[in-house]
Amino acid sequence: MRRALIEEKLPLAIVNAASSREKHLRHGHISTMHLWWARRPLSMARTVVLASLVPDPGPAKRTRLLADIGNAAPFAAISHAAVVEPLRKSLKAAWPDRTPKVLDCFAGGGAIPLEAARLGCDTTAVDINPVAHLIQKCVLEYPARYGKADEPDGPSLVEEFRTWADWVSVQADARLESVLPRAKEGNRAAVYFWARTVPCADPGCARTIPLISSRKLADSTRNRVRVDYDISEDRVELRVAEGAPADGSDWKLGTKTSRGSQVTVTCPACGTARPDKELRSYAREHGFGNYLYAVLDIEFSGVRVYREPTEEDRDAIARADALVEDLDDYPDGTSAVPDELITRSQYRRYPNLTYGIDTWSRMFTPRQRLVLAVLAQTVRAAHEAMLENGMDEGRACALATYLGLAVDRIVDYNSSFVTWVPSGEFVTHTFPQQSVRMAWDFCEIDPLGGGPGNWTGAVNWISQSLTHCVVATVGNPSRVQRANAQHLPFEDGEFDAVIIDPPYYDAFQYGDLSDFFYVWLKRSLGHLYPELFATSLTPKKAEVIQNRADTKSAEYISRTEFEQRLQRALDEVTRVVRDDGIVSLVFAHTDSTAWEHLLRGLRDAGLIVTTSWPMQSEREGRSTDNKGSVLASSVVLVCRKVVAAEEGYFDDVVRELDARIAERLAVFDDMKLSGADYFVSAIGPAFEVFARYSRVVRLSGEEVDVEQLMVLARQAVARHATRALTGGESLQALDDRSLLYLTWRWAYDSQDIPADEAYMLCRAFDLSLDALTAPGGLMKKLGSGGAGYRLLGPDDRRHIPLGPRPSLVDVMHAACLLYDQGRRQELDALLGTTGGAAEPAFWALTTAVAELLPEGSRERILLLGLGGSREDLAERAAKYTPAFEELALFDSSTGNG
């Protein structure tokens, strides 16, 4: 069996650079077709697909093939046939008699199957989620099937989409004219500013208070606008004013203040505060009020004018309140506005639940509901009009589906959880991260006007993405199926390659997140896909995730249950891939136990890891509500079916592991990986070694479990990293505490790390976590349970143990404090009696830690000061003879005790 290119070499540096840039791109990218979570970069997906399917041509020809992959890595390049064609030719040459069949059974937003289709593969995309399934149809199937004009000289699919989008805009605008007012000169309000309201907690005051996070409306290079409080007998109102406050008050502060998830509302009239618990209780029992306090007009010249709402504005809102109640249900009984309940156990994803906002309709103001309902109804009307005009049913269905996605973009930018950014004067959207953030003051847009987040913008984004997908797939439609990855509807050995990015435990709650869009897609497209929208919300009983629902709820999926579901999916992957096929699996989780289970799962499924690659997959600065679980880099594990596996002996495996990790990390060093990314990048090479054996045993016959093997991998990484930082000779002289401190600073800087990560790091150096968190230790436990751990610097350690043969890191910290306090004689004695002044490893540690710390760090300044005085300190310390018995405890306030 010939090894695939991916098992030998990849142009990692070029592909990772392109992937990193791609996460910041928008125009034409499939991410703008419809929001989906954790979508992989196209550059990464394309590289993995091609390299999994073409054999390694050997060193002589490999350079040209890698160069072709690198040339096609930038997003801007792949729309050019001349750039992609060499990749297609390489694939065709590797498969002269037939087209390779590729499966992604966790297809999500469609990145992996799109690249398989672009290269010319026979591609199958599977997902159990109805929203993901529709996105895949719009990315993979419809552009390929209908992308060209329906008849000679006829309009293309993109042109027809724009035509029908204009039709929807005109029809909907006519229905909404009375609720979206126009100025006499034809201009329309762009943004309406709202605040939720509650009464003052003091019954003697009882004024209605608008909940605002800040008094700022604009604080940019264009405008500086604020609101001031206008206190009347029964309420607090907001008045629009120009500039920063002249009275010196802090306009960054509003009536609502937050500390973590705890919110306090303070009355500007009497100063009474309503704490978080009371606020939640009041909201659940009585609900919030809504108060329109400002409007943004954008003139045709581009000038932005902030003003207070007029009577006409308020009358339009009142009309919308009445009209939304009169909307007719759909023929199948579905309400015009989503009245489905939000899953109560998902309050971590939807914090609004804890304030009594428990239906999808209540996430929108009445006018927002009306606007979105009319848009959804108009999409249905457009589909009917297409058929009446004689359009092919399949083409009409495709066009209506793109219109439904456009409505979803408006849904995302026009809920009562869309907030305003004064520094840039723009709206956010409902999902700034993998959950909804509770909003107190929020924005409403006029989607049919000329402001931000409007219909024209939605259509433009989708048009550009659709154009990209047509170029990539035309004439090669993928098979898009909605199915359960645990029970795939395919024959044994049907696919030449299975390339997947499976779910990561509880990192992303795909079903619960996509419910937000599902309920509106049901209104706009439910008649076209009745089988997809037969349930109230997205079906989740077979979803392969661990969810974060209340453990007592019916919806709860435990870690164990997730692992069982993933195992069934891996078993199915092994079944449907050919015996000589390849499985490339993307994984990006920091939890070492997750990796341990994955190794067991691959083994149990009959797969062995042949090689691995760390690849850039997450956008820098990405916001996620589960930060500790997802890496900036993914590890691509390349697997084959097990042919035969023998038993391995522990000592032999350790030697193999050291050699393989050193070899692979030398390659990975060029990627400038750090932190958890670096540690996890070594898991792949560890898997390669471990997977060669059915089990690993010591000479005594005792089997070494997967957790112990993972510790070995971490030890190898730590040795490699610290050797590079300090040099081989100094490494031999550094004690385990010092190595742990250096490794933490290198890997995580000053960041806190999860408990599991801290435990595994300690095990890599044979240190006790309890001992390191004892008084005078290097670490501090945060909170209760598994909250995490913090590394302590010299200023955090006021009592430092320096008993017989002290750790060099303890000597270094004590020296920093003495140096800072000007206690030179005690510093000389410390460095002399411990031998630190004459020990090259001590100075290597000092230099290495200083170089790892950020500019301006106090510890860095102290270490640089010590290092700069090395010769002088060594000379003065030489008069002290090392005498370890003299040392007991260093106290920063009293010296050595």
Q: Answer yes or no: are the C-beta atoms of 679 and 561 closer than 8 Å.
A: no
> What tens digit of pLDDT does each residue of 2-38 get?
899 999 999 988 998 898 888 777 788 999 999 998 8
Mean pLDDT of 326-352: 91
Distance CA 335, CA 495 (A): 43
Q: Which residues contact 68 (CB under 8 A, 6 or more apart)?
A: 86, 87, 90
Is the sign of the CA dihedral 343, 344, 350, 355 positive or negative? positive
Distance CA 50, CA 71 (A): 14
Q: Token pair of 836, please?
A: 């630190």
Distance CA 220, CA 754 (A): 38
SS3 annotation, 655-685? HHHHHHHHHHHHHHHHHCCCHHHHHHHCHHH
- The total of other beta-carbon atoms located within 10 Å of residue 511's CB is 24
Amino acid 883: pLDDT: 54
| 353-to-280, 338, 348, 436 alpha-carbon distances in Å | 10, 16, 9, 11
pLDDT at 360 over 80: yes
- Cα torsion 820, 826, 829, 835 to 10°: value is -30
Out of 332-346, 391-405, 724-738, least confident range: 724-738
Q: How high is the mean pLDDT of the chain?
A: 89
Amino acid 776: pLDDT: 87
Q: Which residue has the higher pLDDT, 774 or 113?
A: 113
Question: In terms of Cα–Cα distance, which of 830, 819, 774 is closest to 799?
Answer: 774
Question: Helix, strand, or coil here: 482?
Answer: strand
Amino acid 551: pLDDT: 80
Residue 664: CA atoms inside 13 Å, Cβ hemisphere, count? 30
Residue with tokens 């700069």: 868
Amino acid 673: pLDDT: 60
Distance CA 134, CA 531 (A): 12
> What tens digit of pLDDT does each residue of 427-465 get?
999 988 778 889 999 999 999 998 889 999 999 999 999
Mean pLDDT of 818-825: 91
Highest mean pLDDT among 294-298, 508-512, 890-894: 294-298
Q: Which residues contact 669 (CB under 8 A, 6 or more apart)?
A: 724
> What tens digit of pLDDT does each residue of 613-658 get?
887 655 444 444 443 444 445 789 999 998 767 888 988 888 888 8
Amino acid 416: pLDDT: 96
User: What residue type is 203 in one-letter code?
Assistant: P
Distance CA 722, CA 84 (A): 42
Q: Which residues contact 454 (CB under 8 A, 6 or more apart)?
A: 410, 445, 446, 447, 448
Q: Are strands 273-274 and 289-298 parallel, antiparallel or unpaired?
A: unpaired
Angle at 514 between CA 509 and CA 516, to 5 degrees: 120
Q: What is the DSSP letter of 313?
A: H
pLDDT at 481 over 70: yes
Q: Answer yes or no: are the C-beta atoms of 133 and 485 closer than 8 Å.
A: no
Distance CA 624, CA 609 (A): 30
> What tens digit of pLDDT does each residue of 731-782 get?
677 889 999 999 888 888 788 888 877 887 888 888 999 999 998 899 999 8
pLDDT at 670 over 70: no
DSSP 535-581: SSS---TT--S---S-TTSTT---HHHHHHHHHHHHHHHHHHEEEEE
User: What residue type is 673 in one-letter code?
Assistant: L
pLDDT bucket at 223, cuts 50 / 70 / 90? very high
237-246 long-range contacts, CB within 8 A, separation 24+: 237/210, 237/293, 238/195, 238/210, 238/212, 238/291, 238/293, 238/294, 239/308, 240/294, 240/306, 240/307, 240/308, 244/219, 245/215
Q: Which residues contact 722 (CB under 8 A, 6 or more apart)?
A: 731, 734, 739, 742, 743, 746
Q: Which residues contact 661 (CB under 8 A, 6 or more apart)?
A: 682, 685, 686, 713, 716, 717, 720
Amino acid 218: pLDDT: 95
> What tens digit of pLDDT does each residue of 277-330 get?
999 999 999 999 999 999 999 888 889 999 999 999 999 999 999 999 999 999
pLDDT bucket at 42, cuts 50 / 70 / 90? very high
Question: Helix, strand, or coil here: 242?
Answer: strand
Give kind and range of the element (H or E) at residue 45.
Answer: helix 42-53
Distance CA 432, CA 318 (A): 30
Amino acid 786: pLDDT: 55
**What end-to-end distance do the CA atoms of the chain give, in Å?**
69
Question: The pTM is what?
Answer: 0.86
Q: Token pair of 92, please?
A: 């065709």
Q: What is the DSSP letter of 524?
A: H
> What tens digit of pLDDT does each residue of 537-590 get?
999 999 998 887 778 888 888 889 999 999 999 999 999 999 999 999 998 766
